Amino acid sequence: MIYQYISRFVGAGLTASLLALMPVPTWAGPGAHGPNGEHLDAPTVGNANAMQANLQIEAKSDLFELVATLAGGELSIFIDRFASNEPVLQAQVEVESDGLKAQAKFHADIGHYAVDDPAMLKKLSAPGEHPLVITVLAGKDSDLLDAVLRVPAPLAVHDHHFHWEWWALGAFATLVLLGITAARLRKQRQRRFSLGGQV
């Protein structure tokens, strides 16, 4: 309603141009929920995919290759033989990061190894770069695989710092729009008085 009133005195073209500068909120407040109970302040699909990529590592040696993902309350590791891509099953796997060690449990139903040690997960979940040394002992074969897990800072922090600048720009555009409106109203009143009209 207010935009229609402003457009009447300012002009549709100028109003549209200034309103285009005003940002539209693209996130919900902390703790907001949608109709199905989902978190509206959660990362978007694109951001979630980016975070997933950052929380995944790959490593290989002459004997083994692996892919590890930090998600779902565990570090999940899939290991294959480098030469044949044959899955490595029932092996002994240990993960070490900055002197902290944890054994990975083999899950035959999925065919992967999982680290669920609370101390290790707390360390690996902290933002920053975490060097990993993964020891694999499969029968007579053993090897060490090195990798670095990079965990980004929480997205919400960046989003809030980023959006306040857009809101400042939107507030400035609004003030300009109101100033132009007030100036045109004064001119119309002066014109009416000069013609002997009434406000």
pLDDT digits (tens, 9 = 90+) for 86-123: 999 999 999 999 999 999 999 999 999 999 999 999 99
37 in any annotated domain: no
Q: Based on the fold, state whether residues 73 and 121 are members of the same structural domain.
A: yes
Strand, coil or helix: 142: strand
Q: Is residue 147 located within the same domain as residue 159? A: no
* Residue 178 covered by a domain: yes
- From the first residue on, what is the mean pLDDT of each consecutive set of 10 residues in the chain (199 residues)? 44 48 45 45 43 75 96 94 95 96 96 96 94 96 96 61 58 71 71 61
Domain that includes residue 100, residue range:
54-151
User: Do 128 and 197 have their domain in common?
Assistant: no
pTM of the predicted structure, to 2 decimals = 0.54
Q: Do 113 and 165 reside in the same domain of the chain?
A: no
DSSP letter string, 65-134: EEEEEEETTEEEEEEEETTT--B--S-EEEEEETTEEEEEEEETTTTEEEE--HHHHHHHHSSEEEEEEE
Examine residue 49 and state whether it is found in any structural domain, yes or no.
Answer: no
